[in-house]
Structure 1
Amino acid sequence: MRYHTIIPPPDLRSLIRFYWILEGDEPYTHRSLACGSVEMVFHYAGVFDELNKQNIAAATAVTGLQGPSHQYRRYSIDTGFGIFGVYMYPFAIPVLFNMPASTLSNEMPDLPSLLGASGRQLQEMVMLAENNQQRLSVLNTFFRQHLRELPAADQPIASCIIALQQQPHLSPVSEWASHAFLSQRQFERRFKSLAGFTPKLFSRISRFQHATRHYNKDFLSLTALAQQCGYYDQSHFIHDFREFSGFHPREFFKGNAEGTVWRD
């Protein structure tokens, strides 16, 4: 399996964290974990089926936009595959598509349904591209055409979202609100519009994501890892990890969990 990332050009880094490419030559089952970011995906070779809790497969679209999610999802494919993805901050949804991020929380619409004619055109251009360099060029052009300035009033909240994703912490919402010069209620409403979730839930997801980044690193005890990632104790850590991934953290960090091959 081949996985690599591409840093976006400087003018798009305020919205796009990175582009990624995942390719495989064999059947594969993938697990998408809870995530506070947004992903636009293009299946340029093969199409995955989504598996429900009963392991029954349902067809998925060749392109889609995965909104912020507090749920894990499972996908499988019986052949080789190729996926081009765009990993974005959640406030990319209101900036690029003029809708609240919360509209797409736990949703993954296909691009033509979400964006109409422009979504169909983008899907066609990416799918018909000869290689990933062309796909990258098509997407850079698309994002530049749709890029808008984030309103000044929302910039402190966007900064808070970025900070939480980089290094989760347990500061009270009232402290975040004061930095944004908003009441707590105003802050929570604007935060949900930009991030897709309430500050409390987004914080929990960010702590979980921070923990998953320790995969392939020297294994810490669960207690030490929980403390390092900002959890009150090990039991809270295990509870959140199971909720957001479906795995016990020990199973995940030992490399025995489903869909972790690309991390190796």
Structure 2
Amino acid sequence: MKYLTVFPEARLQHIVRFYWILESEDGYTHHSLADMCPELLFHYNGRFNEILGDGSATPSFTAGIHGQSAQVSRFSIHNGFGMIGVYLYPQAIPLVFGIPAAEVTNQMPDLQSLLKSEAVALEESIFNAAGNSERIQLIEQFLLRRLAVTEKPEPPVFKAIAGIINAHGQHSIADLAATHYISERQFQRQFRHYTGFTPKLFSRIARFHGAMKRYGDKNISLTNLALECGYYDQAHFIHDFSRFSGQHPRIYFSGKSGATDWME
């Protein structure tokens, strides 16, 4: 399996965290864990099926948004595939698509339902591109074109969102509101509009991601990991990690869960 990341050009760094490319000549089951950030996805080779709770499968979109989510999903494909993802900051949803982020929270709308004919043209160009460098160029042209229509002065809450992500959820909500010179009530309202989550839930998922990043560290106990990642104790850590990953952290960090196959 081949996985690589590419960083965006400067004009898009406020909405794009990075691009990622995942390709394989073999089948694969992907575990999609809770994430405070949405992704714009294009399948240019093959098509995954979403595995539902009852074990049945339904075809996923070939291009669409995987919204920020507090849920766990699984997707499977039985043959080789290629896909490119745009890992976005949450505010990209209102800025690029002109809708509140909450409209895609825990949702996976296909691109055509959001953009109609523009989505058809973009998806075709991504599918027919000569390679991934060209695909990224096409995506960046699309994003810049959309921003030119919707772009407005950046509100202070954007820096607070980035601050929570970068600090892996270890911030006081009241302190963030005060730092960015807005009332806590106004902060809560703006935050939900641009992220689709309350600051508290967003921070919990960001803290969970901070813990996930420690995958591969064989020399740390779950207790120390919990404390270093800002949890009150191991019990709170296990509770949140199990909720947002669908598995006990001991299984996840063992590397035997399937959720880390793309990292290997």
TM-score under structure 2 length normalisation: 0.95
In structure 1, list runs of 5 or more residues that go unmatched: none
Deviation at 1:259, TM superposition (A): 3.1
Q: Find the residue that maps to 2:205 and give its secondary structure.
A: helix
**Conserved in 2, the CA contact under 8 Å of 1:3 and 1:262?**
yes
Match of 1:83 in 2: 83
1:231 and 2:199 aligned: no
Deviation at 1:230, TM superposition (A): 0.8
| Cα deviation code 1:72-91 (max 9, x no counterpart) | 10000010110111101000
Choose the corresponding residue for 2:151, options 142, 149, 152.
Answer: 149
**Conserved in 2, the CA contact under 8 Å of 1:215 and 1:263?**
no
CA–CA distance in structure 2, aligned partners of residues 245 and 198 of structure 1: 19
1:102 and 2:102 aligned: yes
Q: Find the residue that maps to 1:176 and give its secondary structure.
A: helix
CA–CA distance in structure 2, aligned partners of residues 165 and 175 of structure 1: 15
| Cα deviation code 1:215-249 (max 9, x no counterpart) | 12344101111111111111111011111110110
1:158 and 2:155 aligned: no
Q: Find the residue that maps to 1:211 and give its secondary structure.
A: helix
Which residue identity lines up with residue 18 of structure 1 in the other structure?
A: F
Q: Find the residue that maps to 1:65 and give its secondary structure.
A: strand
Which residue identity lines up with residue 34 of structure 1 in the other structure?
A: A
CA–CA distance in structure 2, aligned partners of residues 88 and 220 of structure 1: 31
CA–CA distance in structure 1, aligned partners of residues 159 and 257 of structure 2: 33
Match of 1:70 in 2: 70
Pairing 1:114-129 to 2, within 5 Å after superposition = 114-129=114-129
**Conserved in 1, the CA contact under 8 Å of 2:164 and 2:170?**
no
How many residues of Structure 1 are paired with residues of Structure 2 in the alignment?
Answer: 262
| Cα deviation code 1:97-129 (max 9, x no counterpart) | 111111110111010111112122211111121
**Conserved in 1, the CA contact under 8 Å of 2:97 and 2:114?**
no
Q: Find the residue that maps to 2:20 and give its secondary structure.
A: strand
CA–CA distance in structure 2, aligned partners of residues 107 and 136 of structure 1: 24
Deviation at 1:169, TM superposition (A): 4.2
Pairing 1:20-39 to 2, within 5 Å after superposition = 20-39=20-39
Match of 2:138 in 1: 138
Deviation at 1:168, TM superposition (A): 2.6
Q: Find the residue that maps to 2:120 and give its secondary structure.
A: helix
Q: Find the residue that maps to 2:64 and give its secondary structure.
A: strand
Q: Alignment identity in percent? A: 44
CA–CA distance in structure 1, aligned partners of residues 183 and 7 of structure 2: 36
Identify the range of structure 1 (124-133 vs 43-52) with the bigger mean alpha-carbon deviation: 124-133
Which residue identity lines up with residue 137 of structure 1 in the other structure?
A: Q
Match of 1:7 in 2: 7
**Conserved in 2, the CA contact under 8 Å of 1:210 and 1:229?**
yes
Identify the range of structure 1 (87-96 vs 140-149) with the bigger mean alpha-carbon deviation: 140-149
**Conserved in 2, the CA contact under 8 Å of 1:219 and 1:253?**
no
Deviation at 1:132, TM superposition (A): 1.1
Q: Indicate how the Cα distance of structure 1 residues 219 and 37 shifts in structure 2: closer, same or farther if over 3 A, else same.
A: farther
Which residue identity lines up with residue 17 of structure 1 in the other structure?
A: R
Match of 2:93 in 1: 93
Which residue identity lines up with residue 65 of structure 1 in the other structure?
A: I
**Conserved in 1, the CA contact under 8 Å of 2:20 and 2:86?**
yes
CA RMSD of aligned residues (A): 1.3
In structure 2, list runs of 5 or more residues that go unmatched: none
Deviation at 1:144, TM superposition (A): 1.1
1:191 and 2:191 aligned: yes
CA–CA distance in structure 2, aligned partners of residues 200 and 219 of structure 1: 30
Deviation at 1:173, TM superposition (A): 2.2
Deviation at 1:136, TM superposition (A): 1.1
CA–CA distance in structure 1, aligned partners of residues 9 and 188 of structure 2: 31
Which residue identity lines up with residue 137 of structure 2 in the other structure?
A: S
| Cα deviation code 1:1-56 (max 9, x no counterpart) | 10000111111111111111001111111100100111011111110000012221
CA–CA distance in structure 1, aligned partners of residues 172 and 13 of structure 2: 28
